[in-house]
């Protein structure tokens, strides 16, 4: 009994310390966030950290507690007397707790976050979104703004670039084909559209049109933080590591100015 009490005391103290650690360090888990979707992911993972900390502490403490507390006194000895082959309370609690925790995780954050995603993708909720056509080919991203008549946005150096207005819901329309060589289907592979600071990635699949909804909530750019960049996340051949593009999240006014400049440049 004294073993159990000692263990419980250690467990509770260390779990509390762990939870304090989660509170301090947890909000930095995503390093840098620039969209409401990233915040949702961060909150979900914070919840997971909270629940998992005592479990982690329990097992790790066991691994350390047992060899120190129950260290063998004599070599190869047999402990006299009957030893527990099973313990209904322990097994019962273990199984119940593990089922409950997993069901909990499925309800929250899994299903609750999925519901949020469903809602965001509802057509009715997306009537005033900014639509950005994202086309991936080996090995280049191309960004078009059909509502503004911009076919392929490029910066003055001729590189593809993504500009987004802050605070507006953006609907990325993801397609994978080679717009310069549409006859060559063999070039169409799966790419991954990922902006690390936006906390979400979706694969771009040949023959499919897929959608990702993001609401950028900070004015930022690749120069401010390199996590704000478009990065191909799914291996797509030898050009995969250089398949990235710069991103700028700007105010609506600056965005419209930029669109105007793109028109002037004939893009």
Partner 1 sequence: MATAVSTSPEYPVKRPMPPVIRGLLWAAIGFLVVNVFISYVIDPLKGNPFITQPSVVLGWTAGLIGWLLGVGGWEEIILPAFGIMNKRPVTATGWRQYFGLSLHHKVVGIQYLVSSTGGFFIAGLAAMLMRLELMSPHMWLFPDPGQYLMTVGIHGTIMMFSVGTVALVGGMGNFLIPQMIGSNSSAFPKISSISVWLVPAGILTVAFSPLLGQWTTGWRGYEPLAQNDANGILFYYLGVFALTTSSLLVSLNLTATILFKRAKGLTWNRLPMFAWGMLVVSLLNIIWLPEIQMTFVMALLDRLVPFPFFTAVGSPLTYLEIFWLFGHPEVYIIVLPALTIWMEIIPVMVRKPLFAREWGVIGVIFVMMLSGFVWAHHMFTNITLQEELPFSFFTEMISIPTGFAYMVVIGTMWRSNFKLTVPSLLVLMSMFNFLIGGLTGVFNADPVVDLQLHDTFWVVGHFHFTIIGGMVFTWLAAMYYWLPKFSGRTYNSKLGVLGAIWVFVGFDGAFSLMFLVGMEGMNRWVPIYPPYLQPLNIAISIFAFILGAGFLFNLLHIWWAMRSGKKVEQNPWKSKSLEWMATSASLDDNFKEEPLVVASFYEYDDDKPAAIIPQQEVAASLS
Partner 2 sequence: MSDQKQDGQNANPAAGETNWSRRQFLIGSVGVLVGATAALFESSNISKAASLIVGTQVDSGATSVYQNDYYYIPDQMTWRVGTPMIVNLQNMSPVHFHEWMIGRGGFNTAPNVYTDLDVQFNEDFWDGVHVTILEANGVDNLAVNKAIVKLDVPKGPWLVTQPGSGNFSPTMRPGGNIKLQFTVPNKPGIWQYGCFVQGFVHYLDGMKGTINILPA
> Does residue 11 interact with partner 1 by CB under 8 A?
no
The gap from C-alpha 16 to its chain's centroid, in whole angstroms, comes to 27
CA distances from 212 to 85, 169, 173, 193 (A): 53, 10, 7, 9
CA 155, CA 165: separation in Å to the nearest integer?
Answer: 16
CA dist 114 to 109, 118, 176, 209, 244, Å? 8, 6, 25, 20, 28
Cβ at position 20, least distance to partner 1 in Å: 18
Answer yes or no whether residue 119 interacts with partner 1 by CB under 8 A. no
Report if residue 221 touches partner 2, rule: CB under 8 A.
Answer: no
Shortest reach from residue 178's CB to partner 1, in Å = 10
Q: According to CB under 8 A, which residues from 186 to 215 bind partner 2?
A: 186-187
CB of 190 to partner 2, least distance (A): 15
Query: Nearer Cβ to partner 1, position 20 or 104?
Result: 104
Q: What is d(CA 99, CA 104) in angstroms, rounded to the nearest whole number?
A: 8
- The partner residues of 170 in beta bridges, in order of sequence, read 130, 214
Q: CB under 5 to 8 A by kind: which of partner 1, partner 2, none does 129 bind?
A: none
The helix-helix angle for 2-25 and 36-69 (nearest 10°) equals 150
Which of the residues 188 through 207 are near partner 1 (CB under 8 A)?
Answer: 188-190, 192, 194, 196-197, 199-203, 205-207
Site membership for partner 2, residue 182 (CB under 8 A): no
Tokens 């790419």 sit on residue:
191
Nearest 5°: the CA angle 151, 166, 161 is 35
Tell the smallest beta-carbon distance from residue 266 to partner 1 (Å): 31
**Site membership for partner 2, residue 27 (CB under 8 A):** no
Q: Which residues bind partner 2 (CB under 8 A)?
A: 138-140, 157-159, 181, 183-184, 186-187, 222, 229, 237-239, 242-246
């Amino acid at each position: 009994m004294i073993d159990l009490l000692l263990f419980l005391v250690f467990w509770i103290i260390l779990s509390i310390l762990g939870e304090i650690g989660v509170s301090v360090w947890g909000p930095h888990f995503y390093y840098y966030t620039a969209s409401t979707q990233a915040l949702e992911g961060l909150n979900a993972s914070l919840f997971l950290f909270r629940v998992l900390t005592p479990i982690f502490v329990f097992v790790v403490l066991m691994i350390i507690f047992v060899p120190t507390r129950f260290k063998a006194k004599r070599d190869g000895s047999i402990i006299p007397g009957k030893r527990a082959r099973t313990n209904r309370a322990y097994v019962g609690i273990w199984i119940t707790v593990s089922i409950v925790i997993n069901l909990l995780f499925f309800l929250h954050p899994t299903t609750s976050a999925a519901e949020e995603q469903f809602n965001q993708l509802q057509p009715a909720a997306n009537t005033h979104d900014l639509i950005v056509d994202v086309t991936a080919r080996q090995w280049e991203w191309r960004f078009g703004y059909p509502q503004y008549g911009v076919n392929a946005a490029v910066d003055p150096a001729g590189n593809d670039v993504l500009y987004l207005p802050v605070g507006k819901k953006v609907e990325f329309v993801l397609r994978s084909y080679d717009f310069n060589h549409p006859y060559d289907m063999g070039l169409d592979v799966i790419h991954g559209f990922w902006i690390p600071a936006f906390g979400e990635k979706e694969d771009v699949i040949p023959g499919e049109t897929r959608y990702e909804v993001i609401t950028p909530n900070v004015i930022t750019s690749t120069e401010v933080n390199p996590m704000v960049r478009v990065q191909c996340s799914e291996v797509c051949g030898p050009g995969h590591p250089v398949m990235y593009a710069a991103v700028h999240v700007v105010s609506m006014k600056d965005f419209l100015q930029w669109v105007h400049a793109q028109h002037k440049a004939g893009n």
